[in-house]
């Protein structure tokens, strides 16, 4: 067996073994990268250190900590709660109204934080107790909240799009634009799935809120609703870059939380900063570790090996896209979204471009596939958040998420067959 084949086998087996042992993903990436360097007779501790630093030495990646901070400030400063209150005032009176509230709130919150975990935690904390008190089926409710949470990586501003753009040198602004229509279709799909799931559930309709109270709830959420307008509008008009937009989002959320809503005392800022710093450290260490593995993957010529395997499909872009999406579905059952982007995006994108697939469209599909992996067992990071916050068993949440997981899979297949659903709106908006 050639050294390159040995390195490929070591990477695959090493990742499986380390994940099976419960090792944090960042450490697993560093160790597998180091093992590949030794097998390739390319061992150099200085080179490993340089790649670790290079993985996070990127100006666009500065957007990640600021978007994380913005999400924490939203939850601590009452912004998330006001969004949910507004959604409840408008759609809470329908049968299964809290489900529609979840979907509407998930869309609005996604346009502010870009973090699936932060949005899911906020939705589960506020809405699951309400659903439990009103007799909603908890497994289905937990599955809906988890499914709503993963709209965040798709609707701009999206942290995964930032990471993908940095990793593959793709326009982050174009990626942001590509997520608008798919994000809306995801929400629409959840509405249909929720209606189908509850068709035989004897849930009472809520009380209809007078229009005056609806507009009052909307007025209380005004400053929260202004946030995505500022972020997307600023990037669209060229006032600031995606990285600067993240800073604007964090500063705006801080000002609203402390000066306008006045729900977050200055003393609470330390806890917010600590939580944001911990999450940022995890994401950045993943980026650093993935750079080590990615460098060794390149040395082992694995991209060309994969190109050789998929080469016969280059003349059929839709079939190639379907095969790559199926591959990523399988990967998503074991890997989280960020390491999936860092490891596989640089390898797969050149193949897609060679087949004539639009790189922005491929980026949207890649991130969407990885986002679906967040609610796919056995890993399912977002499922774990819902189970932990809502005090539900993992089995309940997995069972409840299945109808919505099927809906997302059908949407993904729709985008494979009809790529213009994604490409045409981006071209028009640009």
Token match 């609610």: residue?
Answer: 375
Of 11-15, 78-82, 146-150, 200-204, the one with minimum mean pLDDT is: 200-204
CB 36 within 8 A of CB 300: yes
Structure tokens at 253: 């959320």
Domain ranges of the chain: 3-429
* Distance (Å, whole) CA 12 – CA 1: 15
Which residue, 2, 9, 1, 11, is CA-closest to 296? 11
pTM given for the model: 0.88
Per-residue confidence (pLDDT) for residue 204, from 0 to 100: 67
Per-residue confidence (pLDDT) for residue 2, from 0 to 100: 66
Residue 233 has pLDDT above 90, yes or no: no
Per-residue confidence (pLDDT) for residue 189, from 0 to 100: 98
Per-residue confidence (pLDDT) for residue 347, from 0 to 100: 86
The pLDDT of 171-198, averaged and rounded, is 95
Residue 362 has pLDDT above 70, yes or no: yes
pLDDT digits (tens, 9 = 90+) for 320-339: 999 999 999 988 887 789 88
* Distance (Å, whole) CA 294 – CA 304: 14
Per-residue confidence (pLDDT) for residue 5, from 0 to 100: 67
The pLDDT of 233-249, averaged and rounded, is 87
pLDDT band at 425 (very low <50, low <70, confident <90, very high): very high
Residue 203 has pLDDT above 80, yes or no: no
Per-residue confidence (pLDDT) for residue 56, from 0 to 100: 87
The average confidence (pLDDT) of the chain is 89
Other Cβ atoms less than 10 A from the Cβ of 210: the count is: 10
Residue 309 has pLDDT above 80, yes or no: no
Name the region of 115 (left: φ>0; alpha: ψ -120 to 50; beta: rest): beta
* Distance (Å, whole) CA 5 – CA 300: 8
Q: Which residues contact 63 (CB under 8 A, 6 or more apart)?
A: 157, 159, 162, 172, 242, 243, 245, 246
Q: What is the CA radius of gyration of the chain?
A: 22
pLDDT band at 315 (very low <50, low <70, confident <90, very high): confident
CB 300 within 8 A of CB 40: yes
pLDDT digits (tens, 9 = 90+) for 45-101: 888 899 899 888 888 888 889 988 988 898 888 888 899 999 989 988 888 899 999
Residue 4 has pLDDT above 70, yes or no: no
Q: What is the DSSP string of 231-256?
A: HHHHHHTTSS-HHHHHHHHHHHHHHI
CB 68 within 8 A of CB 115: yes
pLDDT band at 1 (very low <50, low <70, confident <90, very high): low
Per-residue confidence (pLDDT) for residue 386, from 0 to 100: 94
Per-residue confidence (pLDDT) for residue 15, from 0 to 100: 79
pLDDT digits (tens, 9 = 90+) for 377-417: 877 889 989 999 888 998 999 999 999 999 999 999 999 99
pLDDT digits (tens, 9 = 90+) for 158-170: 999 999 999 999 9
pLDDT band at 3 (very low <50, low <70, confident <90, very high): low
């Amino acid at each position: 067996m050639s050294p390159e084949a040995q390195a490929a086998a070591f990477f695959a087996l090493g990742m499986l073994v380390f994940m099976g042992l419960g090792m944090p993903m960042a450490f697993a990436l560093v160790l597998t990268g180091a093992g590949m360097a030794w097998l390739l007779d390319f061992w150099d501790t200085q080179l490993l250190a340089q790649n670790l630093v290079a993985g996070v030495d990127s100006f666009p990646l500065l957007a990640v900590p600021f978007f994380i901070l913005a999400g924490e400030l939203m939850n601590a400063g009452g912004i998330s709660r006001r969004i949910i209150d507004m959604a409840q005032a408008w759609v809470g009176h329908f049968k299964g109204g809290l489900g529609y509230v979840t979907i509407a709130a998930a869309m609005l919150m996604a346009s502010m934080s870009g973090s699936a975990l932060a949005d899911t935690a906020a939705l589960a904390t506020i809405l699951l107790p309400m659903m439990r008190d009103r007799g909603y089926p908890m497994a289905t409710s937990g599955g809906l909240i988890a499914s709503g949470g993963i709209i965040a990586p798709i609707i701009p501003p999206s942290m995964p799009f930032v990471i993908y753009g940095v990793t593959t040198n793709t326009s982050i602004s174009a990626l942001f634009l590509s997520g608008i229509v798919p994000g809306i279709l995801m929400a629409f799909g959840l509405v249909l799935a929720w209606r189908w799931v509850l068709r035989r559930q004897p849930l009472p309709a809520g009380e209809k809120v007078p229009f005056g109270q609806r507009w009052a709830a909307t007025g209380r959420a005004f400053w929260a609703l202004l946030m995505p307008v500022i972020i997307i509008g600023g990037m669209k008009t060229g006032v600031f870059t995606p990285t600067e937009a993240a800073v604007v989002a964090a500063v705006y959320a801080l000002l609203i939380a402390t000066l306008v809503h006045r729900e977050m005392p200055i003393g609470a800022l330390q806890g917010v900063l600590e939580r944001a710093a911990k999450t940022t450290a995890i994401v950045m260490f993943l980026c650093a570790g993935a750079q080590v593995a990615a460098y060794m993957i390149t040395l082992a010529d694995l991209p060309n090996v994969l190109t050789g395997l998929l080469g016969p499909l280059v003349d059929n872009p839709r079939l190639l896209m379907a095969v790559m999406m199926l591959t990523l579905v399988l990967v998503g059952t074991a890997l989280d979204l960020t390491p999936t982007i860092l490891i596989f995006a640089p390898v797969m994108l050149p193949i897609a471009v060679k087949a004539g697939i639009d790189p922005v469209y491929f980026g949207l599909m890649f991130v969407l596939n990885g986002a679906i992996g967040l609610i796919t067992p056995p890993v399912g990071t977002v499922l774990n958040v819902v189970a932990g916050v809502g005090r539900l068993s993992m089995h309940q949440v997995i069972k409840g998420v299945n109808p919505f997981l099927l809906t997302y899979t059908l949407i993904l297949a729709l985008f494979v067959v009809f790529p213009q659903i994604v490409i045409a709106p981006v071209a028009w908006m640009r």
